Amino acid sequence: MNANQLRKKELVDKIRNGEYSFFPEYIALSYEESKESLVDINEKSFKRNQGASRLLRDLKNLTTKSASR
């Protein structure tokens, strides 16, 4: 559990216990968490696309070399 998730859990507990009636910090933490998730998804997608591009380039090189022989 990262720091944002831990803080969010603490806030949820306070909200449930009636210690907080307004929770802008919870909303802010949720927003930050979703931004972090999108960054992770984008990085994974980029790496996957890089791998696919490399594979296509290698296949193209192989077929070009085979055709020239």
Domain spans in the chain, listed from the N-terminal domain onward: 3-68
pLDDT of residue 3: 83
Contact 5, 33 (CB under 8 A): yes
Structure tokens at 64: 């070009």
For residue 19, give the H/E element and its range: none
What is the rounded average pLDDT of the residues 55-66? 82
Nearby residues of 45 by Cβ (< 8 Å), 6 or more positions away: none
In the predicted structure, residue 35 carries a pLDDT above the cut 80:
no
Threshold 0.85, pTM exceeds: no
In the predicted structure, residue 7 carries a pLDDT above the cut 80:
yes
Region of residue 31 (left: phi > 0; alpha: psi -120 to 50; beta: else): alpha
In the predicted structure, residue 21 carries a pLDDT above the cut 70:
no
